């Protein structure tokens, strides 16, 4: 329904609007290269003093130009600068904590990083046992920076699913 209404507004008075746009005065295009040459020749013939001004050398500017010294060297490519300036140190890896969820594709993780499963595990451990799993212990256990762990614990939480039984049925006891 909405598309039909929109189409009606879009097509309203279409022919008149198109005719008005077509009948507008078009701007004159910029001159092309060959015509510019002929226009320049015409202007030079009308004003011969321009020709003398263009051909005349300015001694003051020439003397200033003689004082300029240009020393040119090939620029160093940015790739070479990066390679020479920053050498990457060999990365340190750590083994994955726990082999849950068939994580055969991940063999080792760089220090300072964690996998999704590890993140969920440490968030859940902190939620269940906050006295035991403090930010300091998590940072030490997973080789992370303490400020990153504090931010992780502050801004991320795991979902908790609660099943609320209807009023007329008995609640099923969890095992």
Domain-located, residue 131? yes
Domain-located, residue 64? no
What is the arithmetic mean of pLDDT over 61-70? 85
Tell me if residue 50 falls in helix, strand or coil: helix
Domain-located, residue 91? no
Domain-located, residue 119? yes
What is the arithmetic mean of pLDDT over 8-32? 82
Domain region containing 125: 111-163
Domain-located, residue 48? no
User: Which one is predicted more confidently, 63 or 101?
Assistant: 63
**Which residues sit opposite 95 in a β-bridge?**
108
pLDDT of residue 89: 57
Domain count, the chain: 1
Domain-located, residue 169? no
User: Which one is predicted more confidently, 138 or 170?
Assistant: 138
pTM of this prediction exceeds 0.85: no
Element at 42 (helix H, strand E)? helix 33-46
Residue whose token pair is 């006891």: 173
Domain-located, residue 139? yes
Domain-located, residue 32? no
């Amino acid at each position: 329904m909405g598309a039909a209404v929109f189409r009606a507004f879009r097509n309203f008075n279409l022919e008149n609007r198109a005719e008005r746009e077509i009948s507008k005065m078009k701007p004159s295009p910029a001159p092309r290269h060959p015509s510019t040459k002929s226009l320049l020749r015409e202007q030079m013939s009308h004003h011969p003093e321009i020709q003398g001004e263009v051909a005349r050398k300015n001694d003051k500017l020439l003397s200033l130009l003689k004082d300029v010294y240009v020393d040119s060297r090939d620029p160093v490519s940015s790739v070479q600068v990066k390679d020479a300036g920053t050498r990457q140190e060999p990365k340190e890896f750590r083994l994955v904590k726990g082999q849950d969820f068939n994580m055969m594709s991940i063999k080792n993780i760089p220090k300072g990083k964690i996998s999704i499963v590890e993140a969920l595990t440490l968030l859940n451990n902190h939620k269940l046992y906050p006295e035991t799993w403090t930010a300091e212990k998590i940072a030490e256990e997973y080789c992370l920076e303490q400020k990153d762990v504090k931010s992780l614990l502050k801004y991320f939480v795991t979902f908790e699913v609660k099943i609320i039984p209807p009023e007329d049925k008995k609640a099923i006891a969890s095992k």
